[in-house]
A and B are shown apart, each in its own frame.
Chain A
Amino acid sequence: MTPTERPAAPVDVRIEGVELAYGTTRVLKGIDLEIRPGEFFAFLGPSGCGKTTLLRLIAGFAEADRGSVRIGGTDVSGRPPWKRDVGLVFQSYALWPHLTVAANVAFGLEERRVPRPEIERRVQAALELVGLAHLAGRRPSQLSGGQQQRVAVARTIVVEPKVLLLDEPLSNLDAKMRVSVRRELHALQRRLGLTTIFVTHDQEEANSICDRIAVMEAGSIRQVGTPMELYERPANLFVAGFLGAANILDGTVASGAFTLAGGARIPLAAGAVPPPGAKLMFRPQHASLAADAPIAGTIVHREFLGATVRYALRVGESDVVVDVPFQSGGDLHDVGAHVGIALPPERALYLAD
């Protein structure tokens, strides 16, 4: 068993009341988060939402104006990056061009004054772990993008950090590599049992490998949950729209029903309490088309996708998409047809911004 593969007891990361402003721009507006030991956690959001800043704050490259970051129970706020023991894989990989692959990986161990023979053993083990032992003598510029990425990962995990931070690690890879590398990352994380935080703007990446996701927007966390929770029970319209396709319709709540702008009434499911200013949200595959259904619309576009047929409809002032399973021999609705949209009450979600 090599040191790199020894599963250390994973630690938790607690972010409490973190605020950060650059001048008058509030980059982080009060972040509270608890990342559980051994969890693969994602910060997900559009660019500029503060997810990378939050990651850099954990690594010590940014300092919060207020609030604290605790790693394994210890408050690390105010500690410089080199005393944090947090491994960061950079988006650009940041491999040192003047050092060989092996020297890149050895760097952190040398800074920790690890004896030379042990350094060599651990570098070898780390490179084997990412399948690059045969390239130890190369320079980073002689490697492909995927190989560079694996060197960056090896360089980070060889020092056995308490927490692994991945800053958009897949963004510099081509589409094909992305899928295989994210599987590798997932398998590696499971094997090491390391608490891992993954920053991405790509919901598919986050959904496919992360245990839980914090969806961020404009410096705030909008919802935290498993990928399924976020998809099935989004807390607000932003999360609903960011994870998967969503139809959103305006309307008002009155006497146990949601009344659309066009007049159609959708009865509220039992126990549903729409928040103030709520809009109706449903997924395209949860609705169906029927002549006598309550929401009246006009088909403006039709796409045959194989397993499903996607209809784009105009409902009052809004656009709605409905996916209908395709059955061979079944009739398709034509563009221009007036149809009704049927929606089971339990599939209708009422969400505010």
Chain B
Amino acid sequence: MSARWRTGSPGQLLLAAALASFLFLFLILPVATVVYVAFTEKGTGAFTLVNFADFARTDLFVRSFWNSLYVSAMTVVIASAFALPLAYLTTRFEFRGAVLVQTLGFLPLVMPPFVGAVAMQLLFGRNGSLNLVLDDLFGFKIGIMEGLNGVILLQAIHYFPFILVNLSTSLRSIDRSMEEAGQNLGAHGLRLFRRIALPLAMPGYIAGASLVFVKVFDDLATPLLLNVKEMLAPQAYLRITSIGLADPMGYVISVVLIAVSVLTMWLAARSMKGRDYATAQRGGGGLAKRTLGPREAAIAYAIVILILLIVLAPHVGLLMLSFATVWSFSPLPDGYTLAHYTRVLGESSIYIKNTLLYATLAGLIDVVVGGIIAYLVLRTRVPGRQVLDWAATAALAVPGVVVGIGYLRTFYDVKLPDGSSLASAWIVIVLAVAIRRLPYALRSAYAALQQISIALEEAAENLGATKTRTVRRIVIPLMTGGLLAGFVTSFATASVELSAVLMLVQTNADAPLAYGLYVFMQTPAGRGAGAALGVIAVLIVAIGTWLSQRAVDRSQRAHGLDL
């Protein structure tokens, strides 16, 4: 009996094939090229481990490797120190400050760590505001922004919300009776939290912490802006840009970066296996909250405000720097001016235009590709649909610097009709950024589609609508909120992507804002303008995030609660 429309119509197969080629060309092939080069002999193409032996013999690389590991691990520790008290306070107590944490606590995500790097040095560096004041009053300085410390602090400030969100969600989903049983048996207070709630929330913590570890390990832009070169990602970048595409070390480092990312995610997944404790559905959900006494409240506020001050420092510093005339060897700027904004909005407005164009295109690519993959996986039986999902998700484990190197190597010899190389075309920047954001867009597409009951589509088919018509009239309208949220998330984060972009920008005319910021920040004279660009970037991301939140809220309201 023929039922071909059930195993995938020609149209669906065509879509799947198109997406497969897209993912192959712009994700699998570049990454495979990087791996291939790392494992082969230059010229002959014979398999060799010589490159890895060279890596292991070079002190600089080994030092960089341990530095990267140390920075990632310490970032997780410091970020946990920020996130744990905030999660504990907001989930366990009726506490006004919770609102503060919820709104301000997520602000760091709006600004990538590299954007605030220079501002943080001006505030906390050797000759920054804090140390100048300390030196003046007590005659000593503290080195919180020295070398690796600076990277750790900046990364922790940026990434702690990942841990906070995952941990809070897990804590909130613990069934009240779990804790009540503990209380009934004599445990209370912090001890109860440590012995019952925290272990139950462990999967959430591990999910957040492993993500932070991987992100920090792969990050190129932040160490580069702090002038920390002895880490893996900067080394890869420097080898490729200073020695050239033919040097194998950049590829070897890339393989190490990928291996550590994959290993970390695998270990995290393995340690969480069978420990999915989500228990909320069974009883009265959420932990019991109690109100704080006046002294407790004072301590709680002190903790929250201290953490928020640290966390908001890069934003404040960046804002001050963007308005400062001269800010050097003094706690505060000498004077204030709008000149930096007029400069970046005038002569450097090309950066902003490029960013808006690239981020829009990248967001569109992500939403279309993510939406189609989600549909193929969840609603059709097209053969190989699961492979598309895996491939798109695998992009999570590919560091930006690897995408950059892979694109350069793979597309360098592809000539465009005008004789120039494909690797130098601006569209390649868009594709690199889009591929990096695809896993996130795919998740929001999945979430949006999963919310739609299949019966809603079957009802349309039952009333005479074909699959295509059903998608157009029912699926897409109902997914709009989720797709829009996915678009804006991709757009916002794409507009501040630097790691992959650093490699691929060939001329200033093609450069996006993040690249311009990097260039400006290289010279003391450019810092003000760089900061102004940073503020604009933060505004773009903030507005985008706010819009996406609104889009989701609105579509949920419009559809009522019976989705």
Contact = CB atoms under 8 A, between A and B. Distances in A.
Given A82-B466, A96-B456, A159-B464, A141 B1 contact: no
A90 B469 contact: no
Contacts of B478: 96-98
A155 B1 contact: no
Given A80-B466, A159-B464, A97 B560 contact: yes
Contacts of B477: 98
Contacts of A65: 1
Interface string B1-24: 111011000000000000000000
Interface residues of B, number: 29
B462 A97 contact: no
A261 to B, nearest CB: 45
A11 interface: no
A172 to B, nearest CB: 11
Given A94-B455, A96-B474, A140 B560 contact: yes
Interface in A80-97: 80-88, 90-92, 94-97
Interface in B412-441: none
A163 to B, nearest CB: 11
Interface in A48-91: 59-61, 63-66, 77-78, 80-88, 90-91
Interface string A89-126: 01110111110000000011001100000000000000
Interface string B436-466: 0000000000000000010110111111111
Contacts of B473: 107
Nearest to B474: A96
B465 A111 contact: yes
B357 to A, nearest CB: 31
B562 interface: yes
A338 interface: no
A218 to B, nearest CB: 23
A139 interface: yes
B453 A94 contact: yes
A102 to B, nearest CB: 14
Contacts of B461: 60-61, 80-82
A98 B558 contact: yes
B417 to A, nearest CB: 44
Given A90-B458, A107-B473, A63 B6 contact: yes
B67 to A, nearest CB: 53
A142 B465 CA distance: 25
B459 to A, nearest CB: 4
Most central of B2, B459, B461, B560 by chain A CB within 10 Å: B459
Most central of A59, A86, A98 by chain B CB within 10 Å: A98
B459 A112 contact: no
Interface in B463-487: 463-467, 469, 473-474, 477-478
Contacts of A149: none
Contacts of A196: none
B5 A107 contact: no
Given A66-B1, A98-B558, 4 more contacts: A90-B455, A96-B456, A107-B473, A141-B560
29 contacts: A59-B462, A60-B461, A61-B461, A63-B1, A63-B3, A64-B1, A78-B1, A81-B458, A82-B461, A82-B464, A82-B465, A84-B462, A88-B458, A90-B458, A90-B459, A92-B455, A94-B459, A97-B478, A97-B558, A97-B560, A97-B563, A98-B558, A112-B464, A139-B558, A140-B560, A155-B463, A156-B462, A156-B463, A159-B463
The list of the 4 closest CB pairs from A to B, nearest first, reads A141-B560, A108-B463, A94-B455, A97-B559
